[in-house]
Every structure is written in structure tokens, then in C-alpha cells.
């Protein structure tokens, strides 16, 4: 009995990570037995993980099957509005509360990510790490929880904007601007740089969707 909560948690995060990494894309059906075999767990924690992801709108039910959700145009816009406001607050708080080591870590992330320009999938993963580190640097647990929910929904986008020509280097410049403001302990500038970053990402996604 004592192992059940851990097994349930593992199944949930395993399925979520597979969606986040693009193993399963919007519209894909998730089969309980196949997931159990893939992850080497029993079907019960997989079933409970799928139910939990359904309540979080990451999955939707289609008959007896579970399908990875997709975002329509309006949902996408709503998501970016919320993301911009919450991440701007995180940047503002990071400028106020981040430890020097946390700020240096953010700067080092930007520097290291320059080496993977031209690799959209690696940059996408690096981008998630950067934003997660920024959230943690806010030192506000409730804000971090809300941002985790937002980024969970971001996984429902089938493509990464880092695949758009020129967006990768531009995004890293924007990351650098955010870190510079945090280094200067300028909360207003950090929030503004973060909002501008999210706005450019949203505009790039809209252009990508329109051309698709």
C-alpha cells in the first residue's frame, strides 16, 4: 500500500513528460495498456494518471479513449495573456528576491544555450528550463504553482516557435535582456522585458499557425 502514491505520481509525470516532449501530440489517442507497457508500471496508476490529466484538460475523452487536447485560436490567446502577466510578475519578484547564485545560473543558461542555436528541440527543452529557473527565483510558491499549470497547457502546442528562422537567436537575446534587468535588480524592467518576450513568442506562433 505504501508504494501506491509514488507509483501514481510517477505514472502521472511520465505521461505528462511524454506529452511535453512531443512523444504524444494533440489529437493522439493514449491507450492505457500501451502506456503501462511503455513505462513499466501497472495499469491502475496509468488509469489514475489519465483521469488526473483529464481533470486538468490536458486530455479529453473521445468515447472510451483518451485523446491529447489541442488548443483553438481563442484558447491560445487566453493562455498567452495569462502567461505574460504571471511570468512578468515572476520576473519582477526575481529581481527583488533572487539569490546571487540564482541570477548567475540564469545568465549561465543563456550563455550555454547559445551553443545549441539551430537545434529547435534542444532549444525548446532549454527554454523550459530557463523559464522554470526564473519561476523558482521569484520565491513565491503560489505563483510557481500557477505557472506550472500554464506551462503544462503549453505542452499542448504541437510545434515549437524555435523552428522559425531567426526566432532562436532573437529569443536568446530576449532572455539575456530579462536576466540583465534581474541582475540590475530592476523589477519594472524585468517585467517589461518578460512581457515583450512573451508577446514576440505569441506573434511568432500566430504567424506560424497562419502560414500552416
Could you tell me which residues come within 8 angstroms of residue 49 by beta carbon, excluding any fewer than 6 positions away?
8, 11, 12, 14, 15
Query: 101 near 182, Cβ under 8 Å?
Result: no
Per-residue pLDDT tens over the stretch 133-168: 999 999 999 999 999 989 888 888 867 888 898 999
The per-residue pLDDT for 74 is: 93
Within the chain, which residues score under 50 in pLDDT?
1-6
What pLDDT score was predicted for residue 1?
35
End-of-domain residue from the set 25, 48, 68: 68
34 and 95 inside one domain: no
Predicted local distance difference test score (pLDDT) of residue 152: 84
| Residues 47 and 115 placed together within one structural domain of the fold | no
> Range of 94's domain?
73-211
Q: CA 212, CA 206: separation in Å to the nearest integer?
A: 10
pLDDT given at position 28: 94
Judgement on whether residues 114 and 200 belong to the same structural domain of the protein: yes
Question: Rounded to whole angstroms, how far apart are CA atoms 153 and 42?
Answer: 26
Cell 537567436 sits at which residue?
Answer: 169
Which CATH number belongs to the domain containing residue 8 in this structure? 1.10.10.10
For the stretch 53-76, pLDDT in tens is 999 889 999 888 899 998 889 999
Same domain, 190 and 112: yes
What is residue 21's predicted lDDT score, i.e. its pLDDT?
A: 79
Amino acid at each position: 500500500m505504501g508504494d501506491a502514491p509514488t507509483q501514481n505520481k510517477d505514472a502521472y509525470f511520465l505521461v505528462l513528460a511524454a506529452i511535453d516532449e512531443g512523444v504524444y501530440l494533440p489529437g493522439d489517442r493514449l491507450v492505457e495498456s500501451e502506456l503501462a507497457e511503455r513505462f513499466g508500471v501497472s495499469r491502475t496508476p496509468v488509469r489514475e494518471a489519465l483521469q488526473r490529466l483529464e481533470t486538468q484538460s490536458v486530455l479529453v475523452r473521445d468515447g472510451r479513449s483518451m485523446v491529447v487536447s489541442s488548443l483553438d485560436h481563442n484558447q491560445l490567446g487566453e493562455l498567452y495573456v495569462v502567461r505574460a502577466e504571471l511570468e512578468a510578475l515572476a520576473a519582477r519578484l526575481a529581481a527583488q528576491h533572487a539569490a546571487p547564485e540564482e541570477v548567475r545560473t540564469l545568465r549561465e543558461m543563456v550563455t550555454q544555450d547559445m551553443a545549441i542555436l539551430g537545434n529547435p528541440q534542444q532549444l525548446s527543452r532549454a527554454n523550459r528550463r530557463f523559464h522554470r529557473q526564473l519561476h523558482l527565483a521569484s520565491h513565491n510558491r503560489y505563483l510557481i504553482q500557477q505557472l506550472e499549470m500554464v506551462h503544462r497547457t503549453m505542452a499542448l502546442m504541437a510545434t515549437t516557435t524555435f523552428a522559425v528562422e531567426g526566432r532562436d537567436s532573437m529569443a536568446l537575446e530576449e532572455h539575456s535582456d530579462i536576466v540583465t534587468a534581474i541582475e540590475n535588480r530592476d523589477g519594472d524592467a524585468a517585467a517589461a522585458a518578460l512581457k515583450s518576450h512573451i508577446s514576440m513568442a505569441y506573434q511568432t506562433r500566430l504567424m506560424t499557425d497562419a502560414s500552416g
